[in-house]
């Protein structure tokens, strides 16, 4: 969400609390009009309530059916467009309720767990480094952290680029995912680019902006340039470069897979959205709620020729609807034999459904639907935000998937 839009909504809230509802209404209407949501707009409405949660069985069947080529269920496309569908002017209370629901879905309300101003540094094995660096190119610059494993003295085996979610930082994301630990085990570099509050008020990657969905421009160009610089500096083989992300970072990972399929051999999307699932703030709310957006036709990525794909999503995710996992798998495309396995819950460990699509060269894509998991990194550490220690270990599973080894969780 653009910083000026967020600032205007916050200003309207302060004006309302100061006892000036008319002034608040004027500010909100101006902000909505600037975002295409004014009374003269034909845009689909934003998120206004909780979408129904599919059961584990339903989520798995929908994804499995889509992979097998069955038609996906028709999504709610909202009211028809045209002059007759133009919305009426809404009362201030209703507008604030709609905005409040949308803000909660993008993690903009006060209920979001805030991180301390400085996340404590993780302990490092002797010989390991967690470098604090900056990358700059014509498209812009970003700070990033680079984990160089102590085990890398015997040779670096690959690079994983990790894209954090909204309100997170590289340090927080590293702590929560524990990806550095797995990198140490497998001799991998891990790069954690940092989104700035200046580029997005909540430090979200701008996955919903058309200018940040293209090759050679915007945030994809910055992330790709950063990836190439690290890859080349450490002489990483092209087939050992991967990208993964959570939520907005997961949606940006999908963009990187689509715009730079020649750069990444594998992509991991956790609680994210498919490429071009949205084209503005309004459609972002709708996509997060589970409504289909203006994205590309199913199979556009051409799964056999693009990066291999692994998806994680929780059935109880109320921030990004689990139906987005099905859309991601459909976007990846490709044909092949589909297998499905169910692992029931055991003790305090969550159960999950794993769906695998075999390609000509082995597993092309797989999806893990985690029972009862919310909007959080499965199997992560409580030291970081948005983690679910009870779920299967997404970091370990992604690394094993990227490197072509069998999962052991």
- Domain assignment of residue 197, yes or no: yes
- Residues 149 and 6 both lie in one domain: no
- Domain assignment of residue 39, yes or no: yes
- Per the CB < 8 A criterion, the answer to whether 255 and 212 are in contact is yes
**Residues 6+ positions from 279 with CB-CB distance below 8 Å:** 208, 209, 210, 293, 294
- Domain assignment of residue 25, yes or no: yes
- Domain assignment of residue 122, yes or no: no
Structurally, the chain folds into a number of domains equal to 2
Provide the H-helix boundaries in 146-188. Answer: 170-177, 179-186
C-alpha to C-alpha distance for 16 and 25, rounded to whole angstroms:
8
- Domain assignment of residue 388, yes or no: yes
- Residues 34 and 141 both lie in one domain: no
List the domain range (segments joined by +) for residue 184.
129-403
Task: Write down how long the chain is.
Answer: 409
- Residues 193 and 294 both lie in one domain: yes
- Residues 31 and 160 both lie in one domain: no
- Residues 34 and 166 both lie in one domain: no
For 79, 83, 109, 174, 280, the CA distances from 37, given in Å and listed in that order, are 14, 14, 20, 37, 11
- Per the CB < 8 A criterion, the answer to whether 324 and 292 are in contact is no
C-alpha to C-alpha distance for 126 and 52, rounded to whole angstroms:
49
- Residues 273 and 374 both lie in one domain: yes
Among the listed residues 151, 169, 247, 395, the single catalytic one is 247
- Domain assignment of residue 88, yes or no: no
- This model's pTM is above 0.85: no
- Residues 170 and 278 both lie in one domain: yes
- Residues 219 and 326 both lie in one domain: yes
Handedness of CA 61, 66, 70, 71 (dihedral sign): positive
- Is residue 247 annotated as part of the catalytic site, yes or no? yes
- Residues 358 and 229 both lie in one domain: yes
* Tens-binned pLDDT, residue by residue, of the chain (409 aa): 444 555 555 555 545 545 556 666 666 767 666 655 544 333 222 222 233 333 333 444 444 444 443 333 333 333 334 433 344 455 555 555 555 555 444 443 333 334 444 566 788 999 999 999 999 999 999 999 999 999 998 899 999 999 999 999 999 999 999 999 999 999 999 999 999 889 999 999 999 999 999 999 999 999 999 999 999 999 999 999 999 999 999 999 999 999 999 999 999 999 999 999 999 999 999 999 998 766 555 445 555 568 999 999 999 999 999 999 999 999 887 778 899 999 999 999 999 999 999 987 789 999 999 999 999 999 999 999 999 999 999 999 999 999 998 666 5
**In CATH, what number is assigned to the domain containing residue 395?**
3.40.50.1820
- Domain assignment of residue 81, yes or no: no
- Domain assignment of residue 264, yes or no: yes
Phi, psi of 328 (to 5 degrees): -65, -45
- Per the CB < 8 A criterion, the answer to whether 384 and 172 are in contact is yes
């Amino acid at each position: 969400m653009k910083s000026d839009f967020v600032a205007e909504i916050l200003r309207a809230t302060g004006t309302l609390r100061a006892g000036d509802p008319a002034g608040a209404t004027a500010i909100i209407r101006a902000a909505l009009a600037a975002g295409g949501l004014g009374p003269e707009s034909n845009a689909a409405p934003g998120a206004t309530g909780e979408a129904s949660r599919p059961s584990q069985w339903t989520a798995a069947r929908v994804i499995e059916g889509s992979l097998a080529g069955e038609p996906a269920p028709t999504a709610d496309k909202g009211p028809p467009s045209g002059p007759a569908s133009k919305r009426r002017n809404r009362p201030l209370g209703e507008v604030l309720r709609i905005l409040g629901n949308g803000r909660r879905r993008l993690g903009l309300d006060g209920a979001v767990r805030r991180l301390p101003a400085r996340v404590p540094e993780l302990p490092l094995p002797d010989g390991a480094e967690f470098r604090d660096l900056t990358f700059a190119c014509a498209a812009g610059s970003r700070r990033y952290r680079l984990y160089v494993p102590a085990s890398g003295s015997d040779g670096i085996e690959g690079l994983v680029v990790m894209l954090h979610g909204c309100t997170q930082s590289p340090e927080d994301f590293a702590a929560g995912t524990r990806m550095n630990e797995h990198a140490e085990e497998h001799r991998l570099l891990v790069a954690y680019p940092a989104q700035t509050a200046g580029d997005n008020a909540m430090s979200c990657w701008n996955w919903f902006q058309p200018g940040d969905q293209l090759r050679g421009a915007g945030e994809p160009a910055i992330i790709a340039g950063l990836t190439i610089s690290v890859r080349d500096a450490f002489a990483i083989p092209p087939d050992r470069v991967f990208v993964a992300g959570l939520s907005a970072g997961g949606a940006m990972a999908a963009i990187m897979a689509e715009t730079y399929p020649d750069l990444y051999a594998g992509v991991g999307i956790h609680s994210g959205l498919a490429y071009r699932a949205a084209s503005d703030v309004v459609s972002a709310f709708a996509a997060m709620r589970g409504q289909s957006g203006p994205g590309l036709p199913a199979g556009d990525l051409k799964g056999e020729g693009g990066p291999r794909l692994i998806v994680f999503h929780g059935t109880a995710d109320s921030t990004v609807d689990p139906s987005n996992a099905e859309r991601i798998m459909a976007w990846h495309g490709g044909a092949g034999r589909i297998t499905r396995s169910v692992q029931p819950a055991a003790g305090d460990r969550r159960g999950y459904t794993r769906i695998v699509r075999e390609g000509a060269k082995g597993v092309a894509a797989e999806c893990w639907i985690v029972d009862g998991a919310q909007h959080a990194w499965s199997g992560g550490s409580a030291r970081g935000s948005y983690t679910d220690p009870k779920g299967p270990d997404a970091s370990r599973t992604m690394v094993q998937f990227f490197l072509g080894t069998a999962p052991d969780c």
